[in-house]
């Protein structure tokens, strides 16, 4: 059993045409695709308990990391565009000798 941590915005298809907002649009066929980011409940509880006990603060909620959400939402082509942009940026802006990369 898993907990739902986040729900990606749905993608709608009206008569096999993608649309972001189907409200008020007539069609013969509607399809909605949803993506959920899920996790094991025990891991979520352990993280919350650790933070609350160690730091002495109350956890209001959990926010899924942008990377996990991007993995759920982006297509393979969209992920490739990001990679190409990063490579182009690094070619045009090489790190200076005073810049230190921490890994």
For residue 10, is pLDDT > 80?
yes
| Cα Rg of the chain (Å, integer) | 20
For residue 86, is pLDDT > 80?
no
For residue 100, is pLDDT > 60?
no
For residue 89, is pLDDT > 80?
no
HEC-encoded secondary structure of the chain: CCEEEEECCCEEEECCEEECCCCCCCCCCEEEECCEEEECHHHHHHHHHHHHHHHCCCCCCCCCCHHHHHHHHCCHHHHHHHHHHHHHHHHHCCCCCCCCCCC
**Which carries the bigger pLDDT value, residue 41 or residue 37?**
41
**Which carries the bigger pLDDT value, residue 2 or residue 103?**
2
Q: What is the pLDDT of residues 38-85, one digit of tens each?
A: 888 888 888 889 989 998 889 888 777 776 777 777 777 776 665 666
Please give the pLDDT value at position 95: 64
What CA–CA distance (Å, rounded) separates 24 from 22?
Answer: 6
pTM exceeds 0.85:
no
Please give the pLDDT value at position 14: 92
For the beta sheet containing 30-33, the strands, ordered from the edge strand earlier in sequence to the opposite edge, are 17-19, 11-14, 30-33
């Amino acid at each position: 059993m898993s907990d739902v941590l986040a729900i990606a915005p749905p993608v709608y298809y009206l008569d096999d045409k993608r649309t972001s907002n189907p409200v008020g649009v007539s069609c013969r066929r509607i399809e909605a695709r949803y993506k959920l980011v899920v996790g094991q409940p025990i891991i979520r509880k352990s993280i919350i308990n650790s933070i609350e006990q160690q730091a002495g603060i109350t956890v209001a909620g959990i926010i899924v990391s942008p990377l996990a959400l991007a993995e759920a939402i982006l297509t393979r082509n969209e992920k490739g565009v990001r990679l190409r942009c990063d490579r182009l940026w690094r070619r045009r802006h090489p790190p200076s000798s005073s810049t230190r990369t921490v890994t």
